[in-house]
Structure 1
Amino acid sequence: MARLFGTNGVRGVVNQDMNSELALNLGKAIGTYYAKKKERPFIAIGTDARISNHMLKSACISGLLSVGCDVEDLGILPTPTLQYAVKEKNYDAGVIITASHNPPQFNGIKVVDGDGTELAKEQEEEIEDIYFSKNFRIVSWDKVGQLSSWDGAIELYINGILSKVDVESIRSANLHVVLDCGNGAGGVVAPELLRRLGCKLTTINCELDGLFRGRPSEPIPENLGELMKKVKEVNADLGVAQDGDADRAIFIDENGNYVFGDQSLTMVARYIVREKGGGTVVTPVSTSSALEDVVTREGGKVVYTKVGSPIVARVMKKLGAVFGGEENGGLIFPEHQYCRDSAMTIAKVLEILSKEGKKLSEIIRELPRYELVKLKTACPNEKKKEVLEKIKDIAKNENARKIDETDGVKIYTDDGWVLVRPSGTEPIFRIFAESKKRKRAEELASRYKGYVERFATGTS
């Protein structure tokens, strides 16, 4: 069967592969799926700040209404804000029009279930089956859904975060934060949240702009030069950058240095496990060993999953984990909600700084340091399985210390590890390698990239 959903919903270039007809029919398919569970589903819908949102939202709403769903429009808001509203206000599902960190010509549609979590693969496949077969529910004229709007989602969400952190401790620390929302949806939440937490606030790119004229939406080092410079210039305690739909947060220390996502993940995990006296932390197999080092030392344990935040969230829920997340700045706090949430992440990091009374750079220096190298290489989809089997054989012949097949093949050596995994959305393999020494990590990544290229082209 053809696939519509990728790793994070349905995405494409606007008016090419992501158009109003797709949004209309996907709305019908989503509504038909939820109508199997309830006669008249109540669906929340929202958007990020992209200029194509009105077109796609209107089409998707029309599709939902036409199959008998009632729809409530929550306006422009971060993805985790919509997820929180769905969970707290008892909608049957939610739809967010967003392409997260992708360039402005892209847009997408993501569906969340009634508990606010992203859909499982099986649910996506059922919606895809309805979409491609066009087996949509048909309702009579008097059963067509009704459209309403609600502007209370942001207030509900901010209050939810404030109830989960030590507000007084944060306020007493008088922290100065430079906030860069990247012209994305975070601009309608994060500035107000930080003001309520008593922070001195300097803002960059916090105005909504669907063209992302301030900076590209992905919060990687090369896109955050202005933020790094501003943190030093105004003598701030830290900087924070969000991606386009504000489910991920990246931090800059007081010296203007970029804090990588695996470092912030490890820092928060240490704090939470230490506070709770143990507990399970869930993360993908691609995460740095620093996390397991720290969590184990604090009396907790790490459980590894396939790559993808919905998978991490579901395993967390199943195991009753105290914390989880990915190395890209997407952290999940189960006491708040089972999804990546940048605003909750920001508030928790501020709590850590206020409680520990240390500078961000000092806390980062306390964490174990590993060198992580990421590479990718082309491979036809039809050859991925064969290539993976050959990589396993190579690992066995090289006397690997341990081989983990949770997601692709992760090969542990005496001084590091290398992960070789096929992309679920592109004809490529991704190679991650880690060691205490940069040169060794580069050597591992390069060697296994070479193996993949050799097997993919049949030159072995």
Structure 2
Amino acid sequence: MARLFGTNGIRGVFGEGLTLDFVSDMVSSLGTFFGKGPILVGYDGRESSVIMSKVVCASLSAIGLGSSICGLVPTPCLQFATKKLGYGGGIMITASHNPPEYNGLKPTAKDGVEISREDELTVEDIYFKKKWNTSNKPRRIGRETRSIRTYLDGIKSQVNLKKIKSSRFKVALDLGNGAQAVTAPVLCKELGCDIVTINDTIDGMFSGRGSEPTPQNLNKLSQAVVKSKADFGIAFDGDGDRSIFCDNKGKILTGDRSALLISRFLLNKYPKSKVVTTLNSTSAIEEIAERTKSKVLRTRVGSVRGIA
């Protein structure tokens, strides 16, 4: 079992369990595991994220790997850009939906997917044995300015642009003072949507409603949808890899309910398919899959590789 990695990378209270010395040694271990650069580095809006990004890049440089900082971006943006722009790996600095005093490291392989449980154990072995690489030639630390545009264009390539634009949706966005504030409004506008935003400024303390969107703290989103007569609403977490939806009447949909709606739509369109979901999601997904002769594969909780 991993001792440092959790369900989604490594997290801790900044300055306590997550010290800069720990970050430096762990990134040296991650860089040794990656073996080849450059590595793409991004971060969320937490107050400790910028200083951590400097330590991350310096540590990679010290072991002979180049890196590029793409700045404040959502986690999916960092992951997609890592693959699309040809990086050797990626490191996202975030504690996702955890409280503001937390931060963390989320490593991504060159294919844009988080490293596997087995790879996490390999990284931990390097860390505990202090067997990371060293180099007498520090490598370049650069800037990557293409990540957000690459991410937005990637999303648009997967949807029916003409149909969405012709629908002229009105969308309420609760950006949660988080990283999606730099991407979600831009995407919606490019899709021809009229938008209403709340909690739309980056704030590392997540003062608007906290960093995790739950049905209990999305009253303002519900009110915004009803007041503005929006077609639906979306709320994001701190690093923008989690979303909760709201219908046109202001009713917040749970994650399970949203997943079922999406699954039903996709399986009706593509029967005899496979659906991957976590062990803790609703069993109703099997009922939907059975109607279209599809198969459900259950995974461990978290976003790393591996089918349970």
Report the TM-score when normalising by structure 1. Answer: 0.65
User: Is the 8 Å Cα contact of residues 273 and 299 (structure 1) preserved in structure 2?
Assistant: no
2:163 to 169, 175, 182: 169
2:125 to 97, 104, 129: 129
Q: Which amino acid aligns with 1:126?
A: T
Q: Identity of aligned pairs, percent?
A: 40
Q: What is the rounded CA distance, in whole Å, between the counterparts of 1:205 and 1:53 in structure 2?
A: 20
Q: What is the rounded CA distance, in whole Å, between the counterparts of 1:2 and 1:229 in structure 2?
A: 43
Q: Which amino acid aligns with 1:113?
A: A
Q: What is the rounded CA distance, in whole Å, between the counterparts of 2:131 and 2:298 in structure 1?
A: 38
User: Is the 8 Å Cα contact of residues 50 and 98 (structure 1) preserved in structure 2?
Assistant: yes
1:100 to 91, 96, 102: 96
TM-superposed CA distance for 1:299, in Å, is: 3.0
Q: CA offsets, 1:70-94, max 9 Å, x none?
A: 0011110000000000111111100
Matched, 1:197 2:205: no
TM-superposed CA distance for 1:271, in Å, is: 1.1
**Structure 2: stretches of 5+ with no match in the other structure:** none
Q: What is the rounded CA distance, in whole Å, between the counterparts of 2:154 and 2:299 in structure 1?
A: 28
TM-superposed CA distance for 1:249, in Å, is: 1.0
After the TM superposition, which segments of 4 or more aligned residues of structure 1 sit over 6 Å from their partners?
none
Q: Which amino acid aligns with 1:173?
A: S
Aligned positions, number? 308
**Structure 1: stretches of 5+ with no match in the other structure:** 316-405, 407-460
Structure 2 equivalent of residue 239 of structure 1? 233
Structure 2 equivalent of residue 299 of structure 1? 293
SS of the residue 1:28 aligns to: helix
SS of the residue 2:212 aligns to: coil
Matched ranges for 1:314-329 at <5 A: 314-315=306-307
SS of the residue 1:293 aligns to: helix
Q: What is the rounded CA distance, in whole Å, between the counterparts of 2:83 and 2:144 in structure 1?
A: 15
For CA contacts below 8 A with separation 6 or more, give which structure has more relative contact order: 2
SS of the residue 2:126 aligns to: helix
Q: What is the rounded CA distance, in whole Å, between the counterparts of 1:50 and 1:97 in structure 2?
A: 9
Structure 2 equivalent of residue 87 of structure 1? 83
SS of the residue 2:304 aligns to: helix
Cα distance change, pair 233–300 in 1 and its aligned pair in 2 (3 A)? same
Q: CA offsets, 1:190-221, max 9 Å, x none?
A: 00000011111000112111111111111101
User: Is the 8 Å Cα contact of residues 43 and 92 (structure 2) preserved in structure 1?
Assistant: yes
Q: Which amino acid aligns with 1:100?
A: S
User: Is the 8 Å Cα contact of residues 24 and 61 (structure 1) preserved in structure 2?
Assistant: no
Q: Which amino acid aligns with 2:170?
A: H
TM-superposed CA distance for 1:278, in Å, is: 2.6
Q: CA offsets, 1:113-155, max 9 Å, x none?
A: 0101011111111111111221221212xx2111000111000
Q: What is the rounded CA distance, in whole Å, between the counterparts of 1:295 and 1:166 in structure 2?
A: 24
User: Is the 8 Å Cα contact of residues 27 and 62 (structure 1) preserved in structure 2?
Assistant: no
Q: Which amino acid aligns with 2:123?
A: I
Structure 2 equivalent of residue 248 of structure 1? 242
User: Is the 8 Å Cα contact of residues 27 and 60 (structure 2) preserved in structure 1?
Assistant: yes
Structure 2 equivalent of residue 326 of structure 1? none
Structure 2 equivalent of residue 181 of structure 1? 175
Q: Which amino acid aligns with 1:85?
A: A
Q: What is the rounded CA distance, in whole Å, between the counterparts of 2:118 and 2:101 in structure 1?
A: 29
Q: Which amino acid aligns with 1:96?
A: M
User: Is the 8 Å Cα contact of residues 44 and 74 (structure 2) preserved in structure 1?
Assistant: yes
Q: What is the rounded CA distance, in whole Å, between the counterparts of 1:208 and 1:107 in structure 2?
A: 16
Structure 2 equivalent of residue 219 of structure 1? 213
User: Is the 8 Å Cα contact of residues 181 and 206 (structure 1) preserved in structure 2?
Assistant: yes
Report the TM-score when normalising by structure 2. Answer: 0.97
User: Is the 8 Å Cα contact of residues 47 and 76 (structure 1) preserved in structure 2?
Assistant: yes
TM-superposed CA distance for 1:305, in Å, is: 2.5
Matched, 1:14 2:14: yes
Matched, 1:138 2:143: no
User: Is the 8 Å Cα contact of residues 25 and 60 (structure 1) preserved in structure 2?
Assistant: no
Matched, 1:116 2:112: yes
SS of the residue 2:274 aligns to: strand
TM-superposed CA distance for 1:301, in Å, is: 1.9
TM-superposed CA distance for 1:2, in Å, is: 7.2
